């Protein structure tokens, strides 16, 4: 039985939450493998509407085990609040586990995220200010504290004392702000430790056992490919890899175990935060897409930048993830538009190019070359069969499929779980 990675193929917010919620009923284990509470996965199902930031979107499945993998950075306060909220609304979290190798977001990470953004001034990255970048930087600098450290108060104190000295020097001497109190952080994190202890495990064994039993596993990505620190619009990226390859590292799984890589694409493009986006629309059409699609950040509430589907970026995304299937989401948002554009090339200075440049200055100068297709101008949210979609919608999807270069498995035509057209089996 397969391991399937569900990957954001654009700049995040593609609708991975809904796709994972939908596929979770077939899966035995769902592992969130990257990012932190910068993510916001919206799920609308029989329990209501949820905005999940850390807990895998598979939590609503009655039989699935949900793991927050080692590749995630965890703000314990945010996680406890999310668990409490789920429990209050009748969702069982007893099948949730946290890798003991996952790093913790500490109060100085959140503080430094804001201070660093302010220091960047006009070149601010537009981060979510959740401390994600500083937490991943500390992981690599070997200055991190992990969830497993919460289980031993002496280890926690020793680690915190050593690291906080260093952080307080930066806070006071570089940024001129007050130092943080060791006592306050220690007692707070001891409380978090007591609360989270039942969830913290060596999770790779659980995964291995499930695979040995042939049980289906879902790897739940966060953010999107074009925010990857290697392949995204660097430095306007996040700090962990949202790619399928990141799924192996962030869950603790060998690469040849992944059988299926599902790329989740919106039927248009959005981006939140700074950095180039060649097909961005700053006109009425962009506003219309934003309002029709309620394109405001799940985590920060910021308006998302909206634009036409960028097939150059999409092809790049397929190449570096190895998508075996695509999910096209939010097709219904385009219902009222008389015509639709797809970017099929970039004009960069005097040249026409068909690749996604690494250099953000060059990408910022790229002018999209568009193909135009007719819109369908009828509501499609109640349609459940592919062949019942209007001809123009099928033509649009067929062109996307051709450009993305992998078959479409699923089309989403609304927020709710059932507002989905299964074109081809995924699991």
Applying CB under 6 A, which residues contact ligand IMP?
Answer: 12-13, 38-40, 125-128, 130, 132-133, 222-223, 227, 236, 238-239, 272-273
Q: Strand runs (DSSP E) across 158-232, as ranges?
A: 200-201, 217-220
Reference 10, options 220, 231, 218; nearest CA is 231
Q: Packing angle between helix 182-196 and helix 153-169, nearest 10 degrees?
A: 140
Smallest distance, ligand IMP to C-beta of residue 9, A: 13
Comparing CB distances to ligand IMP, the nearer of 128 and 419 is: 128
Instruction: Please state the φ and ψ torsions of residue 258, each to the nearest 5 degrees.
Output: -80, 120
Comparing CB distances to ligand IMP, the nearer of 234 and 370 is: 234
Q: Which of 21, 37, 41, 228 is catalytic?
A: 41
Smallest distance, ligand IMP to C-beta of residue 57, A: 13
Comparing CB distances to ligand IMP, the nearer of 113 and 149 is: 113
Rounded CA separation 389/373 (Å): 16
**Structural contact between residues 74 and 68, judged by C-beta atoms closer than 8 angstroms:** yes
Comparing CB distances to ligand IMP, the nearer of 309 and 376 is: 309
Instruction: Please state the φ and ψ torsions of residue 56, each to the nearest 5 degrees.
Output: -55, 145
Q: Which H or E run includes 306?
A: strand 305-307
Where b means 16+ CB within 10 Å and e means fewer, 414-424 reads bbebebbbebe
Comparing CB distances to ligand IMP, the nearer of 116 and 335 is: 116
Rounded CA separation 383/421 (Å): 7
Residue 70, SS3? coil
Residue nearest to ligand IMP (CB): 273
Smallest distance, ligand IMP to C-beta of residue 268, A: 15
Rounded CA separation 102/300 (Å): 23
For residue 13, indicate whether it is catalytic: yes
Smallest distance, ligand IMP to C-beta of residue 379, A: 27
Smallest distance, ligand IMP to C-beta of residue 162, A: 25
Residues marked as catalytic: 13, 41
């Amino acid at each position: 039985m397969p391991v399937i990675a569900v990957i954001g193929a654009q700049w995040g917010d593609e609708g991975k939450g809904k796709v994972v919620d939908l596929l979770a009923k077939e899966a035995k284990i769902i592992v969130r493998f990257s990012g932190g509470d910068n993510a916001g996965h919206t799920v609308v199902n029989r329990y209501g509407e949820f905005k999940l930031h850390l807990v895998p979107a598979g939590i609503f499945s009655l039989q699935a085990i949900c793991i927050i993998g080692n590749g995630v950075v965890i703000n314990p306060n945010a996680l406890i609040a999310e668990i409490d909220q789920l429990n209050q609304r009748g969702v069982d979290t007893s099948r949730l586990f946290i890798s003991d190798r996952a790093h913790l977001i500490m109060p100085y990470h959140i503080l430094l995220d804001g201070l660093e953004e302010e220091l960047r001034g006009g070149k601010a990255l537009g981060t979510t200010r959740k401390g994600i970048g500083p937490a991943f930087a500390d992981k690599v600098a070997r200055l991190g504290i992990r969830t497993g450290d919460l289980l031993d108060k002496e280890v926690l104190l020793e680690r915190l004392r050593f690291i906080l000295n260093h952080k307080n020097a930066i806070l006071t001497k570089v940024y001129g702000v007050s130092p943080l109190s060791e006592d306050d952080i220690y007692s707070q994190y001891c409380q978090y430790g007591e609360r989270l202890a039942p969830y913290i495990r060596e999770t790779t064994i659980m995964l291995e056992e499930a695979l040995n039993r042939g049980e289906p596993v879902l790897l739940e990505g966060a953010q999107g490919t074009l925010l990857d620190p290697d392949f995204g619009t660097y430095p306007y990226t996040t700090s962990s890899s949202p790619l399928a390859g990141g799924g192996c590292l962030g869950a603790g799984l060998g690469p040849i175990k992944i059988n299926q890589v599902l790329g989740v694409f919106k039927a248009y493009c959005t981006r939140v935060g700074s950095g180039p986006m060649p097909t961005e629309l700053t006109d009425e059409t962009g506003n219309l897409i934003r309002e029709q699609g309620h394109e405001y950040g799940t985590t920060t509430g910021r308006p998302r930048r909206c634009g036409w589907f960028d097939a150059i970026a999409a092809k790049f995304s397929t190449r570096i993830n190895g998508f075996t299937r695509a999910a096209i989401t939010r097709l219904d948002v385009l219902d009222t538009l008389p015509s639709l554009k797809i970017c099929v090339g970039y004009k960069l200075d005097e040249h026409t190019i068909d690749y996604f440049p690494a250099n953000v200055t060059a990408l910022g100068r790229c002018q999209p070359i568009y193909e135009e297709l007719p819109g369908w101008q009828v509501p499609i949210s109640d349609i459940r069969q592919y062949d019942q979609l209007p001809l123009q919608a099928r033509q649009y999807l067929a062109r996307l499929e051709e450009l993305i270069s992998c078959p479409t498995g699923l089309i989403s035509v609304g927020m709710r779980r059932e507002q989905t057209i299964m074109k081809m089996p995924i699991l």
